[in-house]
Every structure is written in C-alpha cells, then in structure tokens.
Amino acid sequence: MNTYNIPRNVKGEGRILFIFSTKALIYAMIGVAVGLIFYIPFRMINLNTIGLIIMGLFGVIGFIIGTFKMPDSNAFYITKKTGGENIDDIIKRAIKFKMQKNKIYVNTEKIGGAKDE
C-alpha cells in the first residue's frame, strides 16, 4: 500500500493570538519598551493615561513595522522601488546604508551631450 502526502493549509500556524507572528510580537515588544521610556516621566507628573497611550502607540508602530509590507504603487518614487517588500527590511537596509556613509550621486547631464537652453 502506498502513502500519500495530503496537502494542508499551514499558513498562520506560527501565529500567536491569530494576529501576532513571532516577528511582529518581537517588534511590538520593542515598541512597547521604547514607549516605556516615555511612560516613566509621564507617570512622575501624574499623567499615567497619556503615558500608557504613548506606550501603546509605540507598540502599534512596532507591530506595523513587523507585519506589513510596503504598498506597491506608482504614485511615489519610494513605493515604485520598494513595493511589496517588508517595512523592517527597508528600514534595516536604510540604516546599513547610512552607517556605511554611502552617497548617491546623480548625473544630470542628458545622454548625447545635449545642453538645456
């Protein structure tokens, strides 16, 4: 008798609470940790709710960075080049580019040596 593999939908099995992937949970916790830096001074001046709102906002920003992809649109230059890539990958690449102190040079001379009048 032969055995056969039955295909099954494995998408979403690595998710926690149906919305958090492992990467999104890590980025959300980093965002909450950054928000905690702002929460402590607000707590000292008895503005706990504002501090909690800021901490939650940073957590949501971290979740968005870890989960979503850059939209694929021709409306803006940045979305033409990076459409469909993860936002965290784009941020990592930009930080790496800046840390290496790279520069982009743009040649404005037209091909064929034609001069603008």
Give the span between the Cα atoms of 101 and 96, in whole angstroms: 9
Residue 10 lies in a domain: no
Say whether both 31 and 62 belong to one domain. yes
pLDDT at 60 over 80: yes
User: Do 78 and 54 share a structural domain?
Assistant: no
In a domain, 116, yes or no: no
Same domain, 64 and 98: no
Q: Are 44 and 58 in a shared domain?
A: yes
Decide if 117 is inside a domain.
no
Higher pLDDT, 69 or 110: 69
Q: Are residues 36 and 52 in the same domain?
A: yes
Give the confidence band of 73 by pLDDT, cuts at 50, 70, 90.
confident
Domain around 47: 18-68
Same domain membership, residue 103 and residue 91: yes
Looking at per-residue confidence, does 85 or 58 come out higher? Answer: 58
Question: Which two tokens mark 2?
Answer: 């032969």
pLDDT higher for 62 or 19? 62
For 41-61, the DSSP string reads: HHHHTT-HHHHHHHHHHHHHH
Co-location of 76 and 88 in the same domain: yes
Same-domain pairing of 61 and 87: no
Quote the pLDDT of residue 32. Answer: 93
Are the C-beta atoms of 67 and 37 separated by less than 8 Å? no
Looking at 1-117, list the stretches that DSSP marks H as alpha helix, in order from N- to C-terminal side: 22-44, 48-67, 77-82, 87-99
Flag whether 52 is in a domain.
yes
pLDDT exceeds 70 at position 114 = no
pLDDT tens-digit map of 11-55? 555 666 667 788 888 899 999 999 999 999 999 999 989 999 999
pTM: 0.64
Among 25, 28, 27, 30, residue whose Cα is nearest residue 14: 25
Counting the structural domains of the chain, the total is: 2
